Amino acid sequence: MGTPQALTAAVAPERYWGSSFPPPPAKEAKISPAETRIIETLAVYKASNREIAERLNLAESTVKLHLYNIYNKIGVDNRFAIIDLCKYNFPEKTT
């Protein structure tokens, strides 16, 4: 999977950003390592907050906080947008 910072550069703004979510420049979307793990778990397993928490040994409230921060950093408003972004920008490798 590619870096989450690349998400902001690769997304079509008209698809994901409304007037309340202006797109941040890619270099300003500083995704933390913990947020990266959340994104990867969400994208790979399409997991609920509870499932992500169990897989990463975190509290569910911590997962919710990270997702809230991710939404604001990359300019999306739901988990399905993150999954779409990952699916279209970081396709799985075929062997």
Spatial separation of the C-alpha atoms in residues 95 and 14, rounded to whole Å:
34
CA-based nearest residue to 71, from 27, 34, 35, 33: 35
Contact 10, 89 (CB under 8 A): yes
52-86 tens-digit pLDDT? 999 999 999 999 999 999 999 988 999 999 998 88
Can you give the residue ranges of every domain in the chain?
5-89
Look at the pTM and tell me if it is higher than 0.75. no
Q: Which CATH fold topology does 5-89 show?
A: Arc Repressor Mutant, subunit A (1.10.10)
Burial class from Cβ neighbours inside 10 Å (0-12, 13-18, 19+) for residue 62 reads middle
